[in-house]
Structure 1
Amino acid sequence: MPLRSGRSGRGERSKRRASRALAEAERPPNPGRWPAAPRPRGMKALLTAEIFLVLVGLIMLGLPIAVSMGLTAVFFFVALGETEVLTMVPARMYSSTTSFTLLAIPFFILTGNLMNAGGITHRLFRFAQNLVGHFRGGLGHVVVVSAMIFAGMTGAAVAEAAALGTVQLEGMVKRGFDRKFSAAIVASASTIGPVIPPSIPFVIYGSITGTSVGRLFLGGFVPGFIMGLALMIIVYFVARRRNYPRERRATAGELLDSSLGAVSAVATPVIIIGGMVSGIFTPTEAAVAATVYALILTLFVYREVRIRDLPQILWETLESSVRVLFIISAAGIFGWLLIHQRVPETVITGLMSLSHNPWVVLLIINVILLVLGCFMEGICIMLLTIPVFMPVITRLGIDPVHFGVMMTLNLMVGLLTPPVGMVLYTLASIGKIPVWSLSHELRWHLFALLTVLFLVTFVPGFVTFVPNLVMGSAR
């Protein structure tokens, strides 16, 4: 008898639960709001797709990236009926740019502008010409070596492309190189800039993820040198096939004299990396030290920058810095929307449903980034995708330094691909070459860079060896 009573009680509870479920199903939906989180998996996937479709639509309408991200976030907060969060948007934009690490960005930009205005580019070109100009396709190799050294001063691919293109493009054409090839090698070599430290993308990545910027800087050395070597191989074979000239071999005295002129530029990354690794500087303090060094060098040693030139240099720095930081502030709102609507969880579920193998997931992420790179700027892609991909990377146990360098290298490829490739358009403008014609000439250079990306993705030691050697293992 007691047993029958227990079964009867459980039966009554089951009936009540069924009645509540039926009543909930028959209740008409609230037309003024979307379903509240947590949502069914299909609904979350649909919402994720809608968010990115609206963003892409605004970009295709010609709105700036930062404005597109901000409007997308505001639109979906309103559409979801969560208008109360709109009062927090200004504070969220402000807080996105208050990281002390981000203060390094304007100082790195200023350092590059000072070095460029101070004639460092010409000294690097002369040193590189004496070092590798006697190889087949000499000036092509000179461009690559100059870019690798110049990378230690700028940290931005577009700035490097403009500086190297202005100095070296016409010189290569006068020496018998095809104009399209000359522009292609300058464009592809400029992508080394953000991989060899200092690097603005590394600073942004480290600020968002909390990864050591020093380890990221050290992790970029080997991939950057491999990029340079791969491009020099392409130059050699193209030069042999097209019979491009080589320069005369420099004497030991000429090489020594030019190296003394270039050593001041090489000292810039030494100051930055050495100060950070030794614990003397934070990344921001290292950027300030590099700026002071560049100021002393260009004002008092070389004397090619005058006091009256500084306002223009500072204005150019201000324009570049505000542009980057405005994008970061807008991305802060957009990232807030993604986290609020659990988009990272949706992406994790989707990627994990495809494979639990970290190498397969990295391959998929690379493909996604390469596609995005055709339509968006690298920094914007980084700000949009890091909050989405980092939970996946963490769950799979992938080294964040490895992933950061891989992502940056991937986004550099996007700078060379139409329709949005900034470096592609910069060199097409400087060289007065049709964009699609230059894109065709870049095919072998892109193949070389994609090969390096493949190696960096699937051989993490290329990235992690130097940071682990200098700073010890992070784990």
Structure 2
Amino acid sequence: MTLWVILVSFLIILSTGASIGVGLGLSSAIVLWAVQDMPLVVVVQRMFTSIDSFSFMAVPFFMLAGAFMSEGGVTRRIVDFSMALVGALAGGLALVVAVAGMFFAALSGSSAATTAAIGASMIDEMERRGYPRSFAAAVVASGGTVGIVIPPSITMVVYGSIANTSVAELFMAGFLPGIIMGVVMCLTSWVISKKNGYRGEGQFSVMRLLRTTKECFWALMMPVIILGGIYSGIFTATEAAAVAAVYGAFVGFFIYRELHLKDLWRTLLSAAYNTTMIMFVVGAANLFGWILTNAQVPHMLAQAFADLASSPLVFLMLVNVLLLFIGTLINASAAIVILTPILLPVALGLGIDPVFFGVLMVINLAIGCITPPVGLDLFVVSSIAGISIDKVTVKVLPYLVTLLISLVVFTWFPSIITCVPSMMK
């Protein structure tokens, strides 16, 4: 009874256009009140308890760091650096989007934030240079997927907190597959551009590359400081997020001098708004998952997966299919909160490394962000570009196919994900 009521009410609420957080929280409240006859104060208690964690303090700090760097002129410098690096190749601007997406992912930790930051500055520019607007939007949406794979990743922080797994190891494990995903998207853009005759932008110049590298140096140092500090044991992931926020403010105010006191309130408000959305979704998802757990749903699903999975590889392929579907419907952090307690015990029982499994879950959910019909990044970029989502979907399919091939490779060869943390031990 509980399972059917919560799922049906959740789908009905979503069909009204409500956000995923509202859908999770309200459907959970309906079950607690109408089916289980529990006081609604439990809703607030469970949501607060789920985010009352030292690890989750990293989320607002990473959001603040990304806001400072974005408002402080970092996005433009990253685009200029990427242009100097790959802009001369066929489809130069399309390649620039993928490269800039990788760099900005190392600053923002968010897929939607990466998509929005790059899209706001690149879609119009690509259209002016002769690229179809729908293609430009698809390139931006695809480039944003690495936002939750390349560290620091807010979704990995959420997984680490739920799974009681080292966030530092998750960050290390996400680095290589994130870079590979970015390179794969560059190759896809290059092939499409060669086929359609999209030319590069000028000639490659070593002097221009050196100049833009110098201008971008302070921005590029932020992920080095964050990851270097975590891997060397100088500070934890949460402390690294605080350091990143201070560093972002310092660079914006005193190095690039494009962040001013009059911008401070808007920047803080933007970071607070994004943090609140994530925390609300995580809290509501935890409440939703708690109700499912009490209804024995995780046990039933785990048993079903155990019966179907004759080997770890079969189990991982089944999980890939499930997560790709879930990733089109639910925010990545919410999906992690709901599904990790269900799937991780089965994975551990099959001898699967929890760090590898966590990164694989994140990669799946990242690809889900551009999987039709309701991938989050598709909606973000559709809004920025001012075009219908179906036009973006058609152009994003080649990128989706290549990312799915990459996912199969990561699943088949786990060492691609685990090699970096293994070397660091």
Q: Could you say which TM-score interval applies, normalised by the shorter chain?
A: over 0.9
Q: Any idea what the Cα deviations from partners look like across 1:289-328, whole Å, max 9, x if unmatched? A: 0111111111011110001110000011111111111112
Does 2:308 align with 1:370? no
Whole-Å separation in 2 of the counterparts to 1:93 and 1:136: 50
Q: Which residue of 1 aligns with 2:355?
A: 401
Q: Which residue of 1 aligns with 2:395?
A: 441
Q: Which residue of 1 aligns with 2:29?
A: 74
Q: Which residue of 1 aligns with 2:148?
A: 194
Q: Give, as a single letter, the amino acid of the residue that structure 2 aligns with 1:95.
A: T
Q: Which residue of 1 aligns with 2:63?
A: 109
Whole-Å separation in 1 of the counterparts to 2:296 and 2:332: 24
TM-score normalized with structure 1 length: 0.86
Whole-Å separation in 2 of the counterparts to 1:61 and 1:89: 22
Whole-Å separation in 1 of the counterparts to 2:323 and 2:15: 18
Contact 1:141 1:232 in 2 (8 A): yes
Match of 2:77 among 101, 107, 123: 123
Structure 2, unaligned stretches of length 5 or more? none
Does 2:110 align with 1:144? no
Moved over 6 A (4+): none
Does 2:346 align with 1:392? yes
TM-score normalized with structure 2 length: 0.96
335-344 vs 160-169, greater mean Cα deviation: 335-344
Whole-Å separation in 2 of the counterparts to 1:70 and 1:166: 32
Whole-Å separation in 2 of the counterparts to 1:392 and 1:55: 26
Q: Which residue of 2 aligns with 1:255?
A: 209
Q: Which residue of 1 aligns with 2:258?
A: 304
Whole-Å separation in 1 of the counterparts to 2:324 and 2:9: 20
Does 2:20 align with 1:65? yes
Does 2:62 align with 1:100? no
Whole-Å separation in 2 of the counterparts to 1:79 and 1:358: 40
Question: Which one has the largest radius of gyration?
Answer: 1
Does 2:76 align with 1:90? no
Q: Percent identity?
A: 38
Q: CA deviation at 1:162?
A: 1.2
- The 3 A distance-change label for structure 1 pair 87 and 162 is closer
Let me know the Cα RMSD of the aligned residues. Answer: 1.7
Q: CA deviation at 1:272?
A: 1.1
Whole-Å separation in 1 of the counterparts to 2:230 and 2:257: 29
Contact 1:149 1:265 in 2 (8 A): no
Q: What is the 5 A alignment of 1:319-334?
A: 319-334=273-288
Q: Which residue of 2 aligns with 1:41?
A: none
SS of the aligned residue for 1:186 comes to: helix
Q: CA deviation at 1:279?
A: 1.3
SS of the aligned residue for 1:193 comes to: helix
Whole-Å separation in 1 of the counterparts to 2:18 and 2:211: 50
Question: How many residues in Structure 1 have an aligned counterpart in Structure 2?
Answer: 425
- The 3 A distance-change label for structure 1 pair 70 and 425 is closer
SS of the aligned residue for 1:344 comes to: helix
Q: What is the 5 A alignment of 1:339-350?
A: 339-350=293-304
Structure 1, unaligned stretches of length 5 or more? 1-33, 35-46
Contact 1:97 1:329 in 2 (8 A): yes
Match of 1:179 among 92, 108, 133: 133
- The 3 A distance-change label for structure 1 pair 86 and 196 is same
Contact 2:328 2:376 in 1 (8 A): no
Q: CA deviation at 1:85?
A: 6.5
